[in-house]
Structure 1
């Protein structure tokens, strides 16, 4: 494999990569960097942890350093946490060249963010919802976006779903025409909707889209170091079984992520487990941004052994040494399961992924097994007596958790946000 200099990157950028202890390009970096430098639009597919951020970030920075004017690039990504991680990487890469990177995400002062955009930073890393809201409310202040030379859609398969359609459309309308900028799509899952973009007509003189799929990402490969397990979990004892798994002899010291489908479930489990003296933090959309950031810091630092999270934590986040993933709720989409269990057994380490299966989950489990090509093994749990003995304590903790949430007005932020969005749509 070649080094970064031979891919066409300038010396200062190669040295920045070396300072970050990155000396050899990964497959997706080696494939995509030269093509992006040639001016081609690009679709890059590779599994989580393969270096996609540098695959699109390095060539953009190389081109920026030749002509550092205006807002040079915009990176859109589905979650605040991913946006923060990408912004950190850009800042590290450009630390020696006075690179101005600005983060535009929900949960922060919109007035401050409008001022940031008006300053025309070199790169903007944003979530589509917040950027779209700013564009709609402050069109004149966002005119600098019309000079953008690069648009990146990170986790493109997730962005190209109905839930982001309106926000993306608003963002695209504020940018130059697609024939006057490069568009880079990167994802761990190359869906048909992503792949179809390769065959769209291109303007005269514009090169065809470059598509790179590493190891055929449609074929999911489960690492040999990852065990896929399940437990049959009647709804009435589900929380007790979760507590039993987290505290039994095999897993009582393990760093774990517990995935759920709803923010309310995440908050209940966080409070419930804390009442039961399991050091737990959480990550979900109902948390203020400062709490979301602190929660991830606590988990990464080992101050909390368990992170209870929605799919905000399933994609792209760099969370090292997770030993156990528990699907408290089974995801509707098998690809979401793949992203979740990909949080463990990374870089050759061992890991277990346990799915808690209720009678209503059978079709989802069969779809997941078909997708990954592996049958889950049943995890032997403690005797039912042990779970029944803990049921009383768990039930009490759950009641206390719900009472706490009621007192604190959990869900009010979502209600107010929906009201604001409704007013914005009516004005449009």
Structure 2
């Protein structure tokens, strides 16, 4: 018999919040992890993109927080501002009405005003916030969440995360999350967490995504033909759903956004060089469906959870297999169908082969007949 969120012993207020958000049936990783979270166990979660890990974290925070206590009780670390913002939105979506918690996003030079129950931010900004308020404010923290730990380590944030772990009280529960790596093999992780951790996965640690995502490539003679390939995909797919196009460079993202806009498409662009308010506004327009095309660098490849995204186009071949996982993982969320298309020149063939070998997938040429049979 299939379980519902009502079967795990979550606090009644959290259950009401989930029902209000139309969350009824847990995903595989949610069902396996919730009993450990409720028992306040320290856990490491690994599952593919789109499996519901961010929602699980939001549920965990709402279950742990006691709104009657006017103090900091949970801290969430994310590798990007966008993921920190999105996680905070989901936490409040579940908990604002019934749990009545307050979640603050730590970003820029802004200091959190008033007593928030939850801080969500990047490691550097969380450390800055503790510097502003004093590390004594960490004494009441019951839950520390480290999201996308593989990205944290590859981005050189290990020392910052380690400092935050040392600030936390020994009684603090720790939840660590990854989509692309087997945490059991990261010996250094146990060193700075200073805790015994349970490793939880839904199956093979090589299951980077579900079977509903298809992987294709489009070969062009030269770099200058990539834009034509994008419009060819658009014309044949007739993009009625939402599409994200990834590039490796901010300047190229701006150029591509302008070219797509000139063709009459509703498009938004985000990259690290844009002010935070413009990045947030762009994602809000895309999330609401006001625009159906988002051009982005990898600031959007982590944690962006928009159910309407069916198509991801890699305008540039990702620099690492893990980046490919997170880009293509923006489509086909929570078991839905999705398609990832990578545009390559002859110079990129070896890169793509390396991605195929590492991820144990085959990225086939995009057949015209498939496009005609399966318009988006």
TM range (shorter): 0.7 to 0.9
Matched, 1:368 2:317: no
Distance in 2, Cα, partners of 1:33 & 1:232 = 47
What's the secondary structure of 2:99's corresponding residue? coil
Deviation string, structure 1 residues 383-427 (Cα, Å, up to 9, x no partner)? xxxxxxxxxxxxxxxxxxxxxxxxxxxxxxxxxxxxxxxxxxxxx
* 1:90–1:101 contact (8 Å) kept in structure 2: yes
Deviation string, structure 1 residues 25-59 (Cα, Å, up to 9, x no partner)? 22222222221232321101122232223433434
The equivalent of 1:239 in structure 2 is 227
Deviation string, structure 1 residues 54-91 (Cα, Å, up to 9, x no partner)? 43343443333397352111001112222122112221
Matched, 1:185 2:182: no
The equivalent of 2:291 in structure 1 is 304
* 1:223–1:345 contact (8 Å) kept in structure 2: no
What's the secondary structure of 1:354's corresponding residue? strand
Alignment of 1:319-330 (within 5 A): 319-330=306-317
How far is 1:195 from its partner? 4.5
Matched, 1:220 2:198: no
Distance in 1, Cα, partners of 2:362 & 2:274 = 36
The equivalent of 2:28 in structure 1 is 27
Distance in 1, Cα, partners of 2:43 & 2:283 = 31
* 2:49–2:208 contact (8 Å) kept in structure 1: no
The equivalent of 1:159 in structure 2 is 152
- Candidates 119, 123, 126, aligned match of 2:118: 123
What's the secondary structure of 2:145's corresponding residue? strand
* 1:9–1:59 contact (8 Å) kept in structure 2: no
How far is 1:135 from its partner? 4.2
Matched, 1:229 2:229: no
The equivalent of 1:38 in structure 2 is 39
Alignment of 1:12-411 (within 5 A): 12-65=13-66, 68-94=69-95, 95-106=97-108, 110=109, 113-116=110-113, 119-136=114-131, 138=132, 140=134, 143-173=136-166, 175-177=167-169, 179-192=170-183, 195-196=186-187, 208-221=196-209, 223-224=211-212, 226-246=214-234, 248-251=235-238, 253=240, 255-346=242-333, 349-379=336-366
Distance in 1, Cα, partners of 2:130 & 2:66 = 27
* 2:30–2:56 contact (8 Å) kept in structure 1: yes
* 2:67–2:101 contact (8 Å) kept in structure 1: no
* 1:157–1:194 contact (8 Å) kept in structure 2: no
Distance in 1, Cα, partners of 2:39 & 2:321 = 36
The equivalent of 1:426 in structure 2 is none
Deviation string, structure 1 residues 319-368 (Cα, Å, up to 9, x no partner)? 12223211111111112112211222345554432211123322220112
Contiguous gaps of at least 5 residues in structure 2: 369-376
How far is 1:183 from its partner? 1.3
The equivalent of 1:2 in structure 2 is 3
What's the secondary structure of 1:160's corresponding residue? helix
Rg bigger for which structure? 1
How far is 1:234 from its partner? 0.9
Change (3 A) 1:225 1:152: closer
Distance in 2, Cα, partners of 1:252 & 1:184 = 38
Higher relative CO (Cα under 8 Å, sequence separation at least 6) belongs to 2
Supply the RMSD in Å over aligned alpha carbons. 2.8
Change (3 A) 1:96 1:2: same
What's the secondary structure of 1:180's corresponding residue? coil
Contiguous gaps of at least 5 residues in structure 1: 382-428
* 2:5–2:26 contact (8 Å) kept in structure 1: yes
Q: Tell me which protein shows more helix as a share of its residues.
A: 1
How far is 1:254 from its partner? 5.4
What's the secondary structure of 2:280's corresponding residue? helix
* 1:198–1:211 contact (8 Å) kept in structure 2: no
Change (3 A) 1:376 1:115: closer
